[in-house]
Amino acid sequence: MGKEQLGINTQLVHAGERGAPPNGKPVSTPIYATATFTYDSMAEVDQVFAGEKQGYIYTRYGNPTIAALEEAMRVLEEGAAACAYSSGMAALHAAIFACEISSGATILASQDLYGATTDLLYKILGSYGIKTTTADFSDVEALRAKAFEVRPQVLIAETVSNPLLKVCDIATCAEIAREVGARFIVDNTFTSPYLCKPLKHGADFSVHSATKYLGGHADVMGGVVVARDEVDLPTLIGVMKLVGGILGVWEAHEIHRGLKTLSLRMDRQCDNALRLAKYLETHEDVSRVHYPGLAPAQNQETIKRIVRPPHFGALVSIELRDNTREAAFRFMDALSLCVRSTSLGDVFTGVLHPATASHREVAPKRRLELGITEGLVRISVGIEDIEDIIADIDQALKR
């Protein structure tokens, strides 16, 4: 029966669908907005399901648009395999499970971590009998002693810590992980693969919240794990398929498009951040500036070895002279150009109050122990003209 002989309802469903692929090759990866894939025979379906033939069956298992992003991230991080997820937290969760932890295992985490990461470790994994202990990863000798004491299965750190911007000596921490037989996960969100490639320094997994610098425009959410060894890919895919935190095809397309301008954006953002940090370093209303480029001389060698020179990242954290929540709120409310935003890495300059946002769930006493004061404000520097950024922050500080 020809399609023109079918009833109107049938034609509405099938007309124009499942045509032959175009003769021309698309210059950009198309958005494959389909949940399922079909084949000419059940024998082919069976072969693809069995892994005997390459292909796609169901977008929860894989999709060409998502696969293109994963391959791009694998290449950029110089890894063996990559897997994309619906958020950075879903990606981190998958990386931890790829380390084959189970009840009774111990995770040794940096004390300087994103608040949600800490909550995942203590509240979610802790409920399954997985113990987490923390250490100051900037003190490598104390870290080594702690690692030999607790014998962890996993070490977790951030390339640049949130929100005090301490740069992790990934190579030394990876060495300590190997000494105790642990896997090492690095959250590389703050630097992106343009500024740092943790796998080259010995990490087992590099994790990203693609919502930040990879997407770069505050319009998409996603996460990626890049593994140093291909043997970890089946577990990463298994967590994606069974837990269900898959990345949508539209989001994959947006993130992949964002990668194409990553270096251009970050060059500008890092240059702006350095100029802003130097300006605020002597500002009468700022008591302290946290920025890797202003770190003590003894730390500069490590920073330059880990982060692509001459950059130091695009985040600046400041402590106000009046180190109170009220002062921080007054400052942030007085901003007219910079955006009060709970994210980072966007083309615009955004500000966040860690004590009430990223580290809100951390006990106040613990926040102070970590150096996260009430008057601390994190600035994610954008690509605007630096003179405009400085002018807006300056007027807000004065008010």
| Residues known to be catalytic | 60, 114, 187, 212
Q: Could you tell me if 314 and 269 are in contact, meaning their C-beta atoms sit under 8 angstroms apart?
A: yes
Q: Which of 235, 199, 240 is nearest to 223 (CA)?
A: 240
| Terminal C-alpha separation, the chain | 77
Query: Would you list the DSSP string of 136-173?
Result: -TTSHHHHHHHHHHH--SEEEEESB-TTT-PBP-HHHH
Cα separation, 216 vs 345, in Å, equals 6
Cα separation, 108 vs 101, in Å, equals 12
Task: Tell me the two tokens of residue 182.
Answer: 């642990």
Could you tell me the sign of the dihedral formed by the alpha carbons of 56, 59, 62, 66, in that order?
positive
Give the residue carrying structure tokens 């920073």.
Answer: 303
Cα separation, 297 vs 291, in Å, equals 13
Give the residue carrying structure tokens 């702690």.
Answer: 146
Cα separation, 78 vs 70, in Å, equals 12
Return phi, psi of residue 335, to 5°: -70, 140
Neighbour tally for 284: CB within 10 Å: 8
Cα separation, 8 vs 31, in Å, equals 28
Neighbour tally for 118: CB within 10 Å: 21
